[in-house]
Amino acid sequence: MRKYIIMGVQGCGKGTQAKLLCAGYDLTHLCVGDIFRWNVQNHTKLAARIKRIMASGNLVGDEVVEEIVRRRLDEHDWNYGFVLDGFPRNRPQAEFFLESYDIDATILIEVPDEVTRERIQARRLCAKCGLDYNLMFHRPAQDGVCDVCKGKLVQRLDDNEEAIRTRLKNYHEKTAPIIELFKRKELVVVVDGTRSPDAIQADIRRQLKLPQV
Ligand code: AMP
């Protein structure tokens, strides 16, 4: 069983790295942002409470987030382990998590803000199947159209200039300080996220001492 948290500023590539790690070792990708986006897309009861907060780039309230994480982990569909992506994002969430769960390591992907800003603005998402694209590294064959399902590619609601500013501010003020907390309690693996996705993944696996697959 392998249990990891992946952290880093928005646009650092943590979603991509989490997916590569999960694919390699049969882990389950638990992404809080994806759970929220699914709710918004499907107009659930929860969506009404979180839609505006998400679009502004602010953090959803801790009680709501903690409940979502608790419920998701309680599903126990992660036989070989998980990569938790997008949680915790502030001290209360980190304390809640450390009180109730244990993990093997926290992966921290470091990328300067100027780089993530550019990457986020180039980010596109298929409105139909949810596949991620980036106009800098992973362009669709046809502009604005998903390669897989031919759905329309759109920008995330919170990938606009103002929301990005809020998200980066929140990251530096609220999320970055909790890394110290994890450093004291757990193993923190720091990787340079400015390299290619494959090079970053290889570095993560090497630092986690994972067997080659
Ligand atoms: P992400 O895709 O991880 O950038 O998450 C998208 C949005 O979902 C964030 O900007 C927040 O509004 C919300 N969100 C995701 N994870 C959390 C969290 N741990 N705490 C509070 N809000 C969150």
CA of 169 to the centre of ligand 1 (A): 13
Query: Rounded CA gap, 9 and 148, in Å?
Result: 28
| Structural domain includes residue 126 | no
Count of domains forming the chain? 1
**Is it the case that residue 136 has pLDDT exceeding 90?**
no
Q: Ligand 1 in contact with 171 (CB < 6 A)? A: no
> Structural domain of residue 197, as residue ranges?
2-117+160-208
User: What are the C-alpha distances in Å from 160 to residues 13, 82, 91?
Assistant: 18, 30, 26
> Residue 157's pLDDT band (boundaries 50, 70, 90)?
confident
Looking at residue 95, its pLDDT comes to 93
> Residue 213's pLDDT band (boundaries 50, 70, 90)?
confident
Looking at residue 184, its pLDDT comes to 87
| Structural domain includes residue 31 | yes
| Structural domain includes residue 154 | no
CATH number, position 199: 3.40.50.300
- Enter the pTM of the model: 0.90
Nearest atom (ligand 1) to Cα of 89? 19
CA of 92 to the centre of ligand 1 (A): 15
Q: Ligand 1 in contact with 115 (CB < 6 A)? A: no
Q: Ligand 1 in contact with 123 (CB < 6 A)? A: no
Q: What is the mean pLDDT of residues 127-135?
A: 90
Q: By 3-state DSSP, what share of the chain in percent is helix, strand and coil, each rounded to 5?
A: 45, 20, 35
Q: What angle do CA 87, 160, 9 make, to 5 degrees?
A: 30
CB 4 within 8 A of CB 81: yes
| Structural domain includes residue 19 | yes
| Structural domain includes residue 11 | yes
| Structural domain includes residue 23 | yes
| Structural domain includes residue 127 | no
For ligand 1, atom 15: residue with the closest CA: 33
Q: What count of residues does the chain have?
A: 213
194, with CB counted inside 10 A (0-12, 13-18, 19+), is middle
Q: Ligand 1 in contact with 84 (CB < 6 A)? A: no
> Residue 193's pLDDT band (boundaries 50, 70, 90)?
very high
**Is it the case that residue 186 has pLDDT exceeding 80?**
no
Looking at residue 212, its pLDDT comes to 87
Strand 132-134 to 81-85 pairing: unpaired
Q: What is the mean pLDDT of residues 170-185?
A: 93
Looking at residue 137, its pLDDT comes to 83
Looking at residue 80, its pLDDT comes to 95
Looking at residue 138, its pLDDT comes to 87
CB 5 within 8 A of CB 107: yes
Q: What is the mean pLDDT of residues 18-24?
A: 97
Query: Rounded CA gap, 37 and 43, in Å?
Result: 10
Looking at residue 40, its pLDDT comes to 92
